[in-house]
Amino acid sequence: MPARHCVLFYLYRTMLTLKLLREDPEYVIRKLAVKNFDARDIVMKVIALDDNRKALQTESDALLGRQKKAAAEIGALMKQGKREEAEAAKAEVAAIKARSTELLRQADENNAELQAQLVLLPNIPCDLVPEGKSAEDNLVVKMGGEEPSLPENALPHWELARKYDIIDFDLGVKITGAGFPVYKGKGARLQRALINFFLDRNTAAGYQEVEPPVMVNAASGFGTGQLPDKEGQMYHAVVDDFYMVPTAEVPVTNIFRDVILGADQFPQKLTAYTPCFRREAGSYGKDVRGLNRLHQFDKVEIVRVEKPECSYAALDEMVSHVESLVRDLGLRYRILRLCGGDLSFTSAITYDFELWSAAQGRWLEISSVSNFESYQANRLKLRYRDEAGKMQLAHTLNGSSLALPRVVAALLEDNQKEGYIEIPEVLRPYTGFDRID
């Protein structure tokens, strides 16, 4: 993947710091425009708030100096019997303390507003990100696999699921609601087989398997950028203020929150399976049928923490790894580099994988592989000491490997034969069967 050409780009900007915003606000505004994000008002407000922060600090420092001087004078004046002057000095100290208290209050309010404005700014896209407003403007960078040969009157996966009694969507509606299917028999076995297959392939590639919680606190949601950007899409347990994970990226990446790594502790490579929960508010129409869009689904994730100079080579490795999974399943796929308008709030660059559903006649997204550079690390306070002992921000990356629902949809549809569904050869040791009939 050509993402490696961004390697030098990170040297100029690695995160949306106050330093960057002050030194080159027009650069930030111009780059965020690639994401169709008008940052001018926020950037200018951040700079004004930072100016005010500095002014408050300067006045506070000056007052502290005056307070120390006046306090020292009180004792000397008392010893000299200059009671009237001493009382005047005491009054001055009291006034200084009152003003200092007021400055502290103003500083707290100013800093809270400064932080609130900073988190409204998304990550700056890599130079390789093409301009565009929507998914229609994404760039196809690779195609793979062959068009499946389907029988006459081929069925979409939701009809295959009913025909072979392997997924029950109506039962899921009864138990919970739409978007919560029940997998049955060989359908449940297929789910478990895919999870184990993906995890085994990930661990063979050097990723350490972890099993994280599937509920996270608000600090974790903030650390990876889901909060305050996507709270409307997350299921929220209000009493405990916990959020159901929308992806394993959130708990796994937060393993490194407030962590300082040594220069010799790279790369960090983790993989995890979790169920994922998304409200998918506002999703309507034909594209939500069957497994196309669910509120609960299974996904295996890979997460990496890298030194900045290594993160784009790592991104290339992750894209190649995910491609190998899709290719070995024998499915037709394509890889897209997302345009600015389709890029997530936190991502600097993202590659999406899509599978071709011949029965539906459409592409199904099954993976996103992203480099966040230091954007998440800045929120997570994920740092490392370089060889010179200087503190630096790490880079974080993540990718789906893979999201199961649409993989299952494509597997069922593209492998349907007359009277049965064929299981890809690589999955048979995991399923224990070679067909669903």
Cα within 13 Å of Cα(388), Cβ side: 3
Place of tokens 């669903």: 436
Residue 316 and residue 428 share a domain: yes
* Bridge partners for 397 per DSSP: 304, 371
Does 401 fall in a domain? yes
CB 214, CB 274: distance < 8 Å: yes
The upper half-sphere exposure of residue 120, i.e. CA atoms within 13 Å in the direction of its Cβ, equals 16
Does residue 7 belong to any structural domain of this protein?
A: no
Residue 343 shares a structural domain with residue 387: yes
Residues 219 and 358 in one domain: yes
For residue 10, the model assigns a pLDDT of 33
Residue 5 lies in a domain: no
Residues 200 and 245 reside in one and the same domain = yes
Check residue 225 and give its pLDDT: 94
Predicted local distance difference test score (pLDDT) of residue 5: 39
State residue 282's pLDDT score: 53
Please tell me the predicted confidence (pLDDT) of residue 87.
84
Q: Give, for all 437 residues of the chain, the pLDDT tens digit.
A: 444 434 333 333 334 678 888 999 999 999 999 999 999 999 999 999 999 999 999 999 999 998 888 888 887 888 888 888 888 888 989 999 999 999 999 999 999 999 899 989 999 999 999 999 999 999 999 999 999 999 999 999 999 999 999 999 999 999 999 999 999 999 999 999 999 999 999 999 999 999 999 999 999 999 999 998 777 899 999 999 999 999 999 999 999 999 999 999 999 999 999 999 999 865 555 577 999 999 999 999 999 999 999 999 999 999 999 999 999 999 999 999 999 999 999 999 999 999 999 899 999 999 999 999 999 999 999 999 998 999 999 999 999 999 999 999 999 999 999 999 999 999 999 999 999 99
Q: Are residues 96 and 145 in the same domain?
A: no
Whether residues 110 and 194 share a domain: the answer is no
Q: How many domains does the chain have?
A: 2
* 213 shares its domain with 326: yes
Q: 126-160 burial by CB neighbour count: b if 16+ within 10 A, else e?
A: bebbbebeeeeebeeeeeebeebeeeeebbbbbbb
pLDDT at res. 328:
97
Check residue 285 and give its pLDDT.
Answer: 53
**Cα–Cα–Cα angle for 295, 119, 50, rounded to 5 degrees:** 175
246/107 same-domain check: no
Same domain, residue pair 64 and 166? no
Q: DSSP alpha helices (H): ranges in 227-361?
A: 249-253, 311-328
Query: For position 37, what pLDDT does the model report?
Result: 96
Task: Indicate if 354 and 414 belong to the same structural domain.
Answer: yes
Question: Residue 374: exposed, middle, or buried by beta-carbon count in 10 A (0-12, 13-18, 19+)?
Answer: buried
Q: What is the pLDDT at residue 8?
A: 33
Asked if residue 1 belongs to a domain, the reply is no
The secondary structure of 153-168 as a DSSP string is T---HHHHHHHTT-EE
Q: Tell me which of 51, 83, 118 is where a domain ends.
A: 118
Query: What per-residue confidence (pLDDT) applies to 284?
Result: 54
Host domain of residue 70: 40-118
Judge if 230 and 375 occupy the same domain: yes
Do 304 and 218 lie in one domain? The reply is yes
Please state, in angstroms and rounded to a whole number, the distance separating the CA atoms of residues 110 and 114.
6
First to last CA, the chain: 40
